[in-house]
Amino acid sequence: MAKKAKVEKITSSDLLKVFWNSWFIQSAWNYERMMGQGYLHGMTPILRKLHPDEKEYLDWVKLHLEFYNTEPHISNIIVGMDIAMEEKGADMETIRGLKSALMGPFAGLGDSMIWLTLLPIIFAIGASMGVTGSLLGPVIAVVVWIAASWAIKYFTLVYGYRYGLGMADLLKGEALVTFREAVSAFGLAMCGALAATYVWGAHTPLVLEVSGVKVVIQDMLNLIMPALLSLIFVLFNWVLLRRGYSLTKTVAVTFVLGFVLALLGILG
Amino acid sequence: MNAIQILLLILYAFICGLDMIWVTATGIWRPLVAGAVTGLILGDPATGVTAGALVEFTFLGVFMLGGGSVPEASSGTITATSLVITAALAPQAAVAIAWPVAAFAMNFEIATRSFDAVFIHWADRIAPTGNVRLINLVNILGAVPWALSRAIPVALFLLIGVPAIQAFLAFTPAIFWTALTTAGSLMPACGIAALFNTMYRAEFIPLFLFGFALAAYLKLPMLGIALVAAGLVGGLYVIRRK
């Protein structure tokens, strides 16, 4: 495909429009083409500017409706790179290759950092405040989540555009691996804290009478280690998940077990 | 619950669906917020936020990734919190009610994931005209089935399920509900285990123990532990990069 004669420069207000539209990336998500339609939605504010020729423009509209699926926040790195390359006159094969080559790795990276670390940690801290009945918990969680996730979505777009393909190399580099490890390590420390604090049901009301002396079992367990039963239940659930139990099945097993133990007076 | 409250709850479920599919732009579909809003609508925000927080702990590691479906948290939370408040149950019982509802609501989501292909075919037909405004409008419309996949199960439960469960309540002995509450307050173990499982790396076990000890022995609040852990891990990260 021939290079275009003249393309207007993409401005930061153009990128801002792309940012707003990028919230609709999975609006019509379906099994057939997943985020295909949403990708085009993100590109529409600048597509005409990038491809002034009508015939060519229509071809690009079709291209951006093709199958696409990745993590919807950091998807904007790919969008940013795409814009930079289309601006330099990249052909359709190149852009199709860019999108399909990057969506897989970025899905894995984004899911583990955003949906499995950032969001759960923010809402776990909010829930720890909310559990006493304070509305401050949900308010703080929402404010922090909006600030963090909007910043990620905006800056991935801007840096993706500015540094183009250099960004992809950076994301495969050593610095990011170390960063991901640090995020996981932090997440696991929070898991430990949650495991010790929020499994209230893991408490036994059992009292034994040994030659006239009452022994409160929970007190004895606390002497061994506080929150020991909580830890046991979390690890029990983890073992089930490791064995390939689905989450719903794990929930069902724990629920029935807890219900029966409570009826027997062992938990409560 | 009066008719206006039921309508507001169904509308809220609808908005939760929009928020979720529009990349969780606000996070209001999370159980913590859904419980609080349900409580506000029903005039008991304190119970609502407590119930929501408890359900939140069980949904911590529960996310659909890449297109798989998982039990739908917001419809489960809205229904369960409504029942807890109207039937004056312990907030812990919300967890036990939220999960079955969430698992039921998931089927509506799976149906939506198939149905929404209608919108991409519609867009395909518009594409040759180059009318991208219309294509974008169709894309936005594609979120409606997603929103309905939350609103419909909530409507079904609020109109039929909750009165039925309340009638059932009158016939069940008290020990049934105490046991249900205990089982419910055991469930955060599942959410925490799911989160643990996604981040698990054998070499990071010491950090898990570190967080556990700060909470179990030193009784630090969660935000305090987050700051201590972030300081420690952040420091180690900086040293390692040098």
Could you give the percent of chain B with pLDDT greater than 90?
67
Examine the pLDDT at A17 and tell me if it is beyond 60. Answer: yes
Terminal-to-terminal C-alpha distance of chain B:
61
Q: Does residue A84 lie in a domain region? A: yes
The total number of structural domains that make up chain A: 2
Q: Does residue A3 lie in a domain region? A: no
Give the C-alpha separation, A156 to A106, whole Å. Answer: 12
Q: pLDDT category, B61, cuts 50, 70, 90?
A: confident
| Pairing between β-strand A213-216 and β-strand A207-210 as defined by DSSP bridges | antiparallel
Examine the pLDDT at B194 and tell me if it is beyond 70. Answer: yes
Point out the residue among B47, B189, B222 whose CB comes nearest to the CB of A199.
B189
Which chain B residue shows the shortest CA-CA distance from A151?
Answer: B25
State the residue for tokens 């996949």.
Answer: B149
Q: Does residue A70 lie in a domain region? A: yes
Examine the pLDDT at A111 and tell me if it is beyond 50. Answer: yes
State the pLDDT at residue B237. 83
Mean pLDDT of chain A: 90
Residues of chain A contacting residue B209, judged by C-beta atoms under 8 Å apart: 192
Q: Are A68 and B120 in contact (CB under 8 A)?
A: no
Give the C-alpha separation, B61 to B197, whole Å. Answer: 8
A41/B136 CB distance under 8 A: yes
Instruction: Please name the helix (run of DSSP H) or strand (run of DSSP E) that holds residue A216, with its range, or none.
Output: strand A213-216
Among A5-19, A223-237, B10-24, B197-211, which stretch is predicted with the lowest mean pLDDT? Answer: A5-19
Using a CB–CB cutoff of 8 Å, tell me whether A205 touches chain B.
no
Which chain A residue shows the shortest CA-CA distance from B71?
Answer: A248
A267, A244, A122, A264: which is closest to B187 by C-alpha?
A267
Examine the pLDDT at A108 and tell me if it is beyond 90. Answer: no
DSSP string, B203-230: GGHHHHHHHHHHHHTT---HHHHHHHHH
Helices A54-63, A36-50: axis angle to 10 degrees equals: 160
Q: Does residue A140 lie in a domain region? A: yes
Point out the residue among B124, B214, B222 whose CB comes nearest to the CB of A65.
B124
Tell me the pLDDT tens digit for each residue of A58-90: 999 999 999 999 999 999 999 999 999 999 888
What 3 state SS string does A167-193 have?
HHHHHHCHHHHHHHHHHHHHHHHHHHH
| Mean pLDDT, rounded, for A223-249 | 92
Give how far Cα A191 sits from Cα of A180, A188, B34, Å: 16, 5, 23
A233/B197 CB distance under 8 A: no
Q: Are A16 and A10 in contact (CB under 8 A)?
A: no
Q: Are A35 and A69 in contact (CB under 8 A)?
A: yes
For residues A34 and A59, membership in a common domain is answered with yes
Point out the residue among A41, A135, A146 whose CB comes nearest to the CB of B49.
A135
Examine the pLDDT at B18 and tell me if it is beyond 60. Answer: yes
Tell me the pLDDT tens digit for each residue of B149-187: 999 999 999 998 877 877 777 778 888 888 888 888 888
Q: pLDDT category, B67, cuts 50, 70, 90?
A: low
B73, B86, B84, B214: which is closest to A120 by C-alpha?
B73
Q: pLDDT category, A212, cuts 50, 70, 90?
A: confident
Q: Does residue A117 lie in a domain region? A: yes
Examine the pLDDT at A198 and tell me if it is beyond 70. Answer: yes
Instruction: Please name the helix (run of DSSP H) or strand (run of DSSP E) that holds residue A209, with its range, or none.
Output: strand A207-210
For residues A189 and A162, membership in a common domain is answered with yes
B142/A251 CB distance under 8 A: no
Residues of chain A contacting residue B128, judged by C-beta atoms under 8 Å apart: 58
Give how far Cα B4 sits from Cα of A141, A146, B1, B7, B41, Å: 28, 30, 8, 5, 9
More confident residue, A162 or B66: A162
State the pLDDT at residue B154. 96
State the pLDDT at residue B170. 74
A23/B143 CB distance under 8 A: no
Q: Which residue, of A193, A212, A231, is where some domain finishes?
A: A193
Q: pLDDT category, A171, cuts 50, 70, 90?
A: low
A224 CA to centre of own chain: 37
Using a CB–CB cutoff of 8 Å, tell me whether B173 touches chain A.
no
Q: pLDDT category, A1, cuts 50, 70, 90?
A: very low
For residues A182 and A227, membership in a common domain is answered with no
For residues A96 and A183, membership in a common domain is answered with yes
- The structural domains of chain B, with segments of one domain joined by +, span 3-186, 201-242
For residues A81 and A177, membership in a common domain is answered with yes
Q: Are B46 and B123 in contact (CB under 8 A)?
A: no
State the pLDDT at residue B36. 98
Examine the pLDDT at B100 and tell me if it is beyond 50. Answer: yes
Give the C-alpha separation, B194 to B190, whole Å. Answer: 6
Using a CB–CB cutoff of 8 Å, tell me whether B62 touches chain A.
yes
For residues A152 and A107, membership in a common domain is answered with yes
A142/B26 CB distance under 8 A: yes
Using a CB–CB cutoff of 8 Å, tell me whether B100 touches chain A.
no
Token output for A81: 């790179």
C-alpha distance from A29 to closest chain B C-alpha (Å):
6
Q: Which residue, of A165, A193, A221, is where some domain finishes?
A: A193
State the pLDDT at residue B191. 87
For residues A251 and A169, membership in a common domain is answered with no
Using a CB–CB cutoff of 8 Å, tell me whether A54 touches chain B.
yes
Examine the pLDDT at A2 and tell me if it is beyond 50. Answer: no
Q: Are B113 and B67 in contact (CB under 8 A)?
A: yes
Which chain B residue shows the shortest CA-CA distance from A202?
Answer: B186
Residues of chain B contacting residue A135, judged by C-beta atoms under 8 Å apart: 36, 45, 49
Q: Are B122 and B145 in contact (CB under 8 A)?
A: no
For residues A109 and A228, membership in a common domain is answered with no
For residues A122 and A215, membership in a common domain is answered with no
Examine the pLDDT at B20 and tell me if it is beyond 80. Answer: yes
What 3 state SS string does B140-187 have?
HHCHHHHHHHHHHHHHHHHHHHHHHHHHHHCCCCHHHHHHHHHHHHHC
State the residue for tokens 């099945």.
Answer: A249
Q: Which residue, of A175, A193, A211, is where some domain finishes?
A: A193
For residues A184 and A206, membership in a common domain is answered with no
State the pLDDT at residue A84. 92
State the pLDDT at residue A193. 93
A111, A46, A45, A102: which is closest to A72 by C-alpha?
A111
Segments forming the whole domain that contains residue A227: 201-263
State the pLDDT at residue A183. 82
For residues A172 and A58, membership in a common domain is answered with yes
Point out the residue among A138, A240, A247 whose CB comes nearest to the CB of B49.
A138
A37/B119 CB distance under 8 A: yes
B12, B11, B1: which is closest to B87 by C-alpha?
B1
For residues A113 and A212, membership in a common domain is answered with no
Residues 6+ apart with CB under 8 A from B121: none
B119, B163, B68: which is closest to A27 by C-alpha?
B119
C-alpha distance from A219 to closest chain B C-alpha (Å):
14
Put simply, the chain A residues between 11 and 50 with a CB less than 8 A from any chain B CB are 21-34, 36-38, 40-41, 44, 47
Mean pLDDT of chain B: 91
C-alpha distance from B132 to closest chain A C-alpha (Å):
7
